[in-house]
Chains A and B, each alone.
Chain A
Amino acid sequence: MQLLTPALGLIFWTFLAFAIVFLILKKFAWKPILAALKERETGIADAIASAEKVKAEIASLKSENEALLTKAREERAILIKEAKEQSDKMIADAKEKAKAEYDRIVADAQAAIAQQKNAALTEVKNQVGALVIEVSEKILRRELANKAEQESYINQLAEVVKLN
């Protein structure tokens, strides 16, 4: 029966020990341990939540980037096209201008040539006139001195003129 009857001393000491251990552990062990565990758990939960948030943000950023990129590509294509058109136009313009200039230069040159030619012709005409006058003068002077000679000379001159 002693097995089933609780002893007073052991009851007393067990109760005392439990009370002391409970108070010590409550204050110095369970409180910090449970607090630390809770802190860690909330920390982990927060970290996961913020990671999710960042992930969503990154995803939205990525789609935004993609949209921006396609837009940029389109713009580039347009720019290139425009640039090409402009350059073609510029080349065409330049060609046209060059042609006009050439035409103008050619026309000027032709006008100058024609002018020079006229001038040269006028000079030749003048010289021929002067020569005729000089020859006529010489002829007139010889004629006055000898009739026969005058005649032969005239012939001679005529021959020269013919030859010319």
Chain B
Amino acid sequence: MVYNIFLPETSFFTLHLPIFAENLETGMSLRNVKSLLIAAFSLVIVFFCIPAIAQHEVADSAATEVHAGTEHHEAKEGDFEPGKVIMEHIMDNHDFHIADVNGHPISLPLPIIVYSPQKGISVFMSSKFEHGHASYQGYKLEEGVIKAVNEDGSIDETTKVYDFSLTRNVTQMFLSLIVLVVLLLGVAKKYQQQGAKVAPSGFQNAVEPVIIFIRDEVGKSNLGHKYEKYMPYLLTVFFFILIGNIFGLIPGSANVTGNIAFTTVLGVISFVVIILSTNKHFWAHVFNFPGVPVPVKIILLFVELLGIFTKPFALIIRLFANMVAGHMIITCLVMMIFIFAKLSIGAGIGFAPVSMAFTVFIYVIEVLVAFIQAFIFTNLTAVFIAQAFEGEHEHAEAHH
């Protein structure tokens, strides 16, 4: 079981590299310094693949040992499964899990909102589930998923359950967005009060260069004279992702931007924006590729149609994989202390400084990644929008 959980993680490490390589290749407005930083980061990831893979073996043996040792008295006390802990950190949850003390989880209950056609809407706190041990109002928490149960407590697969709960990710997203909106409205108020002639001060000074950077490097350089129309969307996407990334870096917080649902929504929105920006030229290009014979035109039709969907899909996967990988590396590094401690306490204590040094290093890089990924998502969206209405450069860019 532990092995199965670890397997996707290994694939993420390999997935991580081509994504960055692509970023490098796309590098439209990435300056040399940035490319260098990304290259350095990629190199670091390569280095980390080795200890990480080595760690899997250790983790496996440790886990099997633990399993063998605890087989008879079940998962009652201190059943240490690093894979489960890591996945719990990466994934969404119905309560804000803080720590386990003597096997009893300490967590903040969050509101559950469930709808099923048979039972209607039910709203209650997640503490009613008692961490999956109890059923409430005909629902039960099974491996992090809410399932309908019959009277006798068996799971009822026939009832469809629509889960709109304010999960860990949702609450954290709301919190971060409230902070974002309050901060930005404060800045906007300052602009309105002081007028344009006064030099910026305070937090205004921190936000203004970022806004100007997005406007000039993302908006103007990609979209040309049409940039003003897209600025509110591009700025919102950038700050939406950035604040999510930054809040995700707070120790113990949820991994919002590294959740596929979050990135899917942003990807779908940018897909809609891209499609709405298309012009006649773009579609003519897709359905009737100029200057090639008819059989090639048919092949290119599929290629171009596929291209329309791969663009937002790449955005979704890139952000998701980058954020998940960052969180995984950090949790893995911390977990290694406990894995070594399982072998012998001395090994655990001895490894702690090494692990902490790596963790701090990766953490600092993750701060960088938080900004870079927000920028890349915004920039690529702008590039795709520009392709949709420019037409002339479409062919050259689409096959990248």
A and B from one complex: yes
Footprint of B on A, CB under 8 Å? 2-15, 17-18, 21-22, 24-26, 28-37, 39-40, 43
CB-CB under 8 A from A37, the residues of chain B are 196, 208, 211-212, 215
Q: Quick check: A7 and B261 within 8 Å, CB to CB?
A: yes
CB-CB under 8 A from A35, the residues of chain B are 196
CB-CB under 8 A from A40, the residues of chain B are 196-197
The answer to whether B46 has its CB under 8 Å from any CB of chain A is no
Bound Cα distance from A32 to B144, whole angstroms: 44
Bound Cα distance from A105 to B315, whole angstroms: 124
Q: Quick check: A32 and B87 within 8 Å, CB to CB?
A: no
Q: Quick check: A7 and B266 within 8 Å, CB to CB?
A: no
In-complex Cβ contact of A13 among B166, B181, B324 (8 A): B166
CB-CB under 8 A from A31, the residues of chain B are 232
If the complex has contacts A3-B260, A9-B165, are A26 and B232 also in contact, measured as CB distance less than 8 A? Answer: yes
How many residue pairs between the two chains, A and B, have CB atoms under 8 Å in the bound complex?
125
Q: Quick check: B208 and A21 within 8 Å, CB to CB?
A: no
Bound Cα distance from A134 to B236, whole angstroms: 155
Q: Quick check: B188 and A2 within 8 Å, CB to CB?
A: no
CB-CB under 8 A from A28, the residues of chain B are 185, 188
The answer to whether B390 has its CB under 8 Å from any CB of chain A is no
Q: List 27 A-B contacts (CB under 8 A).
A: A2-B91, A2-B144, A2-B145, A7-B92, A7-B261, A9-B113, A9-B162, A9-B163, A10-B92, A10-B170, A10-B261, A13-B173, A18-B240, A18-B265, A18-B266, A21-B240, A22-B232, A25-B181, A25-B235, A29-B184, A33-B207, A33-B208, A36-B195, A36-B196, A39-B195, A39-B196, A40-B197
In-complex Cβ contact of B260 among A6, A21, A24, A32 (8 A): A6
Q: Quick check: A13 and B266 within 8 Å, CB to CB?
A: no
Mask: chain B, 195-206; 1 = CB below 8 Å from A; 0 = not: 111000000000
Q: Quick check: B164 and A9 within 8 Å, CB to CB?
A: yes
The answer to whether B300 has its CB under 8 Å from any CB of chain A is no
Bound Cα distance from A18 to B211, whole angstroms: 18
A40 to chain B: closest residue by CB: B196
CB-CB under 8 A from B266, the residues of chain A are 14, 18
CB-CB under 8 A from B197, the residues of chain A are 40, 43
Q: What total of chain B residues lie within 8 Å of the partner, measured CB to CB?
A: 53
Bound Cα distance from A3 to B4, whole angstroms: 13
Bound Cα distance from A26 to B144, whole angstroms: 36
Bound Cα distance from A4 to B9, whole angstroms: 12
Q: Quick check: A17 and B173 within 8 Å, CB to CB?
A: yes
Bound Cα distance from A13 to B145, whole angstroms: 17
Bound Cα distance from A22 to B164, whole angstroms: 21
The answer to whether B309 has its CB under 8 Å from any CB of chain A is no
A4 to chain B: closest residue by CB: B260
CB-CB under 8 A from A36, the residues of chain B are 191-192, 195-196
Q: Give min CB distance, A26 to chain B, whole Å.
A: 4
In-complex Cβ contact of B236 among A2, A30, A33 (8 A): A30
Q: Quick check: B196 and A43 within 8 Å, CB to CB?
A: yes
Bound Cα distance from A17 to B143, whole angstroms: 27
Bound Cα distance from A118 to B324, whole angstroms: 150
Q: Quick check: B173 and A3 within 8 Å, CB to CB?
A: no
Q: Quick check: A8 and B162 within 8 Å, CB to CB?
A: yes
CB-CB under 8 A from A32, the residues of chain B are 188, 191-192
Bound Cα distance from A36 to B188, whole angstroms: 9
CB-CB under 8 A from A29, the residues of chain B are 181, 184-185, 187-188
In-complex Cβ contact of B261 among A6, A25, A33, A43 (8 A): A6
Q: Give min CB distance, B223 to chain A, whole Å.
A: 14
A42 to chain B: closest residue by CB: B196
Q: Quick check: A21 and B236 within 8 Å, CB to CB?
A: yes
Of A3, A10, A18, most B-chain CB atoms within 10 Å:
A10
